[in-house]
Structure 1
């Protein structure tokens, strides 16, 4: 996965988190110091957090940061390691397909509902499930193809610009 794309997604997640913190902080100040809470702030924070969680999961998948057992898999011979990783990715792909399908059904079920405080269609919020699941499925397909063609594992790509390297 291109490092720049993953890094951009990570910055977007950081931006969402900053907006959530700012909205909640503003509401706390308004409620306790001015006795004028923002009635919509909790709803905005919840909706942004839902999107943040899904986009963060996508960024983690792109960077190879999801849970796995690399020490156990690395003990296998090269061909068995390739087969096990590919089989694991196919299981993940099947799960993501189920999430896309059920997410589309959920969005369709909620297409008449509006949020109480903001009065926006609720399906905008819950569209995160099928949309990000579909993007994750594309990432997994990309990773399978890259692995079968001998490319690097997720998170192990060559970084052209040293400023983009992870400091950890």
Structure 2
């Protein structure tokens, strides 16, 4: 199961690279066209904006797996393991709540976005803003799984240290734990 999850996230990372590369090509191409010929490709302007939205929201899920989102460790660093576990569960409950609100908002807007079309490409805006479904489910699921690991006692010491902002230690050990 962990291999499937690892493969899934490697696929997401590959998708992020492709999205970023496509954005760079489109934006740079438009800059060159505007500089040399005083014109640009309208489709590339619109698509690069859409790709930026997808890049941001898919990237949030990838970063969520690596626990690399912004955090305030000042208080948590002073707590022991039990205090860190309580804070970890509380923060994950907060994340689940935010994901539920985000999912519900995306759901509420889905009908409007499905009938609203981009001005140049005429892509349904649901394809752009529907990425909120993926992000809310992805981040929420990871938070639920982490709560389950804390409750069942399967959260590692390294993960507790990282939650408190302490990233010292054996890098190979950290990589091994992340892949498990």
Verify same fold: TM over 0.5: yes
Q: What's the TM-score once normalised by structure 1's chain length? A: 0.84
Residue in 1 that maps onto 2:110: 107
List per-residue Cα deviations over 1:16-57 (Å, max 9, x = no partner): 111101011112222322344212111101000000010111
Q: Distance in 2 between matches of 1:15 and 1:71?
A: 37
Note if 1:159 corresponds to 2:175: yes
**Residue correspondence of structure 1 range 34-53 to structure 2 within 5 A:** 34-53=37-56
Q: CA RMSD in A?
A: 2.4
- Structure 2 unpaired stretches of 5+: 168-172
Residue in 2 that maps onto 1:28: 31
Q: What's the TM-score once normalised by structure 2's chain length? A: 0.79
Residue in 2 that maps onto 1:127: 130
Residue in 1 that maps onto 2:170: none
Note if 1:147 corresponds to 2:150: yes
Q: CA deviation at 1:80?
A: 2.1
Pick aligned residue for 1:96 from 99, 102, 111: 99
In the alignment of these two chains, the number of paired residues is 161
Secondary structure of residue in 2 paired with 1:151: coil
Q: CA deviation at 1:109?
A: 1.7
Q: Distance in 2 between matches of 1:141 and 1:119?
A: 37
Cα pair distance change 1:81/1:129, threshold 3 Å = same
Residue in 2 that maps onto 1:58: 61
Residue range with higher mean Cα deviation, 64-73 or 27-36: 27-36
- Structure 1 unpaired stretches of 5+: none
